[in-house]
Amino acid sequence: MGFTGSATNPVASDLDSFYDRAINCYSSASYTKLTQLVIQSNMHFEQYQVMKLLGLEEGNEQHAKAFEYLLNLIEMVAKRLIQDGVTNLFNAPLTNIQYLSYIIAKEMPYLFFVPVEKRIKQTYEEDFLDSDLKVLTSACRFNENWIITYLLKEAFSAIKNCGSCQ
């Protein structure tokens, strides 16, 4: 998978958009403590633990394929960051890393988002009637998509440590 920005590779297109908007990331306030903790920590999960956190079963072929797709997607993003001159995730803006994690999560919404029903109260002044409108939205399963940040950090480190593997 290369970064062509085509309709067949929406992540590449989103990454191009990410770089276009990265300069303005500092202007939007964001809570990034968990992102910082994940990047700076020495925590390590085994593959089966990450799969379990994502709700995937290790012996299920479809789950294994979905997990492999996720890992390939994250590896592609890590390689792109390295190609673009990012030398260390510790020094990258946390809001940018958080945004990248969100872009990756959007590729697999069934793993990273849960449906949430919201009620919107509507008042009609002329009839003095109140009614509720139910709207189905989605919310992130993981605060700050920390699991993606963790996998991105692992992929980034593996590629940087490999050197000739790039």
User: pLDDT per position in the chain (166 positions), as tens?
Assistant: 333 344 456 566 666 665 555 444 444 456 889 999 999 999 999 999 999 999 999 999 999 999 999 999 999 999 999 998 899 998 888 889 999 999 999 999 999 999 988 887 776 666 556 677 788 888 899 999 999 999 999 999 999 998 655 5
**Are 53 and 149 in contact, with CB atoms under 8 Å apart?**
no
How much is the pLDDT for 4? 36
Supply the range of the domain harboring residue 76: 10-112+143-162
Split into its structural domains, the chain has a count of 1
Residues 6+ apart with CB under 8 A from 55: 111
Q: Residue 21 falls within a domain, yes or no?
A: yes
* Helix 146-162 and helix 94-107, axial crossing angle in degrees, nearest 10: 100
Q: Residue 91 falls within a domain, yes or no?
A: yes
Q: Residue 117 falls within a domain, yes or no?
A: no
How much is the pLDDT for 7? 46
Q: How far apart are CA 134 and CA 125, in angstroms?
A: 20
* Alpha carbon separation from 16 to 33, 81, 132 (Å, rounded): 26, 11, 40
- pTM for this model (two decimals): 0.75
Q: Residue 126 falls within a domain, yes or no?
A: no
Q: Residue 17 falls within a domain, yes or no?
A: yes
Q: Residue 135 falls within a domain, yes or no?
A: no
Q: Residue 24 falls within a domain, yes or no?
A: yes
Q: Residue 122 falls within a domain, yes or no?
A: no
How much is the pLDDT for 126? 60
How much is the pLDDT for 149? 97
Residue 79: which H helix or E strand, with range? helix 61-83
